[in-house]
Amino acid sequence: MSNHHRPTIGRRRALVRAGGFGLAAILGAVAAREASATPESARDWLSALAKGEFKEGKVTIRAPEIAENGNAVPVTVSVDSEMTDGSYVKAIYVAADGNPNPGVAAFEFTPASGKAEVQLRIRMAQTQKVVAVAHMNDGSLFTASREVKVTIGGCGG
């Protein structure tokens, strides 16, 4: 009988141990995820600023395919709009999904801006996607994204 029990206990211990490793692995993964933004957190950041459905189109993101220095990646975001009193871009929101935090910047425009375009330089900790959302004056939202491969990350960690 006692011989019968031993392997069971052994198996149980092994299971408990494996369970512990599993938990540690999950916690590790959660911690790793918390250290960086994700496509979901980037979307949440954008959704908090622009409520509604994001449609593809109108937005163009220009950025290098490969950025050797993640400390300053030149990015241009432009939105197709005539920028008149009747039809203009109210705002452009920019996020990145691989930095410690997803937010990058928000730019508000008026018809007097004449053109909905802004050039900026972004810090990128690693290879990631830049996501931009344009908020039109009629409330509609347009989005585009672009991946930038980063050779040396720039978040000073």
Partner 1 sequence: MSDDIKPRIRVPATAKKGELVEIKTLITHPMESGQRRDSEGKLVPRLIVNRLDVTYNGKPVLAATLEPAISANPYMAFFVRVEESGTLNFTWTDDNKQTWTAEAKIQVS
Residue 125: CB minimum distance to partner 1, A: 9
Please pick, from the candidates 79, 104, 133, 150, the single residue that binds partner 1 as defined by CB under 8 A: 104
Stretch that binds partner 1, among 7-15, 51-59, 139-147, 148-156 (CB under 8 A): 148-156
Please pick, from the candidates 38, 71, 126, 127, the single residue that binds partner 1 as defined by CB under 8 A: 71
Q: Does 88 bind partner 1 (CB under 8 A)?
A: no
Q: Does 123 bind partner 1 (CB under 8 A)?
A: yes
Q: Does 107 bind partner 1 (CB under 8 A)?
A: yes
Q: Which among 79, 155, 153, 76 has a CA at the least distance from the CA of 121? A: 76
Q: Does 119 bind partner 1 (CB under 8 A)?
A: yes
Q: Does 115 bind partner 1 (CB under 8 A)?
A: yes
CA distance 107 to 92: 5
Q: Phi, psi (5° rounding) for residue 85?
A: -60, -30
CA distance 56 to 58: 7
Contacts of 97 by beta carbon, 8 Å cutoff, 6+ apart: 37, 38, 39, 41, 42, 128, 129, 131
Q: Does 112 bind partner 1 (CB under 8 A)?
A: yes
